[in-house]
């Protein structure tokens, strides 16, 4: 082999080695520019919802903030009813305002309390209101207070689908309005709990044998 040929071969080999070395270095630089070493960030160890805070030198890592949870207002909240700080139902009733106009729905609820239980203790009045509130939430009954109260053959004080007018100057009406607001906002637990039916103790309707008794309050028995 001539010296020229050997020199050309050596030059070609050197050139190939140089190209291979340059390609390897270029490939590594390109990979470094497109990816970030996450080994320093133990993201998998972070609990769900916690923030993962990056270092300032790593713009590729984004800060993930935890969601802010806020309390929602209660549906249908009446500004004339107090937030429950009372230690008894009597105190809560005393702290609840009877002033202001009631919405049509609350008026129907208060009228039912007035005509069905104005002579009952406060717990009995609240239990009557609770039955109406429960019925409005049940698929077995109409979905609003007025329709529940005026449903045919359900409340004896209703005449021809109409609710009579209460004595609006009486203390009994003022208490009924307060009880309606308390029951509507579920501000106080009732012994009637999830009851949907009630009757006076001096009667025994046939349907009572098919129901589960929840409570007896004064002269009324409440059932689910």
pLDDT digits (tens, 9 = 90+) for 172-207: 999 999 999 999 999 999 999 999 999 999 999 999
Question: Is the pLDDT higher at 138 or at 49?
Answer: 138
On the question of pLDDT at 222 being above 50, the answer is: yes
Task: Give me the pLDDT at residue 115, please.
Answer: 97
Half-sphere exposure of 22 (CA within 13 A, CB side): 6
Quick one: average pLDDT of 37-53? 34
The secondary element (H helix, E strand) that includes residue 16 is helix 3-34
On the question of pLDDT at 67 being above 60, the answer is: no
Long-range CB contact pairs, 134-143, < 8 A, 24+: 134/194, 134/195, 134/196, 135/196, 138/196, 140/196, 141/196
Total-model pTM: 0.63
Task: Give me the pLDDT at residue 86, please.
Answer: 67
Mean pLDDT of the chain: 74
Task: Write out pLDDT tens, residues 78-94.
Answer: 545 454 466 899 999 99
First and final CA of the chain: distance in angstroms?
Answer: 110
Instruction: Tell me the DSSP string of 138-188.
Output: STTS-SSHHHHHHSTTT-TT-BTTBPPPP-TTSHHHHHHHHHHHHHHTT-S
Task: Give me the pLDDT at residue 87, please.
Answer: 87
Task: Give me the pLDDT at residue 59, please.
Answer: 40
Per the document, the length of the chain is 224
- The class of domain 89-223 in CATH terms is mainly alpha
For the chain, domain boundaries: 89-223
Task: Write out pLDDT tens, residues 22-41.
Answer: 444 443 333 333 343 433 43
- The closest alpha carbon to 173, from 94, 77, 107, belongs to 107
- The closest alpha carbon to 224, from 194, 183, 190, belongs to 194
In this prediction, what percent of the chain has a pLDDT beyond 90?
59
Question: Is the pLDDT higher at 99 or at 63?
Answer: 99
On the question of pLDDT at 112 being above 50, the answer is: yes
């Amino acid at each position: 082999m001539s010296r020229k040929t050997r020199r050309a071969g050596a030059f070609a080999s050197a050139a190939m080695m140089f190209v291979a070395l340059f390609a390897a270095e270029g490939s590594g630089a390109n990979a470094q520019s497109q990816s970030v070493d996450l080994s320093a960030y133990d993201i998998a160890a972070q609990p769900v919802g916690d923030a993962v805070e990056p270092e300032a030198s790593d713009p590729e890592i984004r800060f993930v903030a935890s969601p802010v949870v806020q309390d929602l207002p209660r549906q249908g909240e009446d500004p004339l009813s107090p937030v429950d700080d009372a230690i008894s139902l009597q105190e809560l009733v005393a702290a609840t305002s009877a002033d202001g106009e009631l919405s049509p729905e609350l008026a129907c609820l208060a009228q039912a309390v007035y005509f069905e239980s104005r002579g009952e203790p406060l717990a009995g009045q609240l239990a009557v209101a609770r039955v109406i509130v429960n019925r409005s939430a049940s698929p077995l009954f109409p979905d609003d207070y007025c329709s529940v109260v005026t449903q045919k053959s359900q409340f004896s004080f209703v005449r021809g689908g109409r609710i009579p007018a209460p004595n609006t100057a009486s203390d009994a009406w003022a208490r009924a309005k307060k009880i309606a607001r308390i029951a509507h906002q579920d501000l106080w637990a009732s012994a009637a709990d999830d009851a949907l039916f009630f009757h006076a103790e001096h009667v025994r309707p046939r349907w009572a044998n098919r129901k589960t008794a929840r409570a007896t309050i004064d002269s009324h028995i409440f059932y689910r």
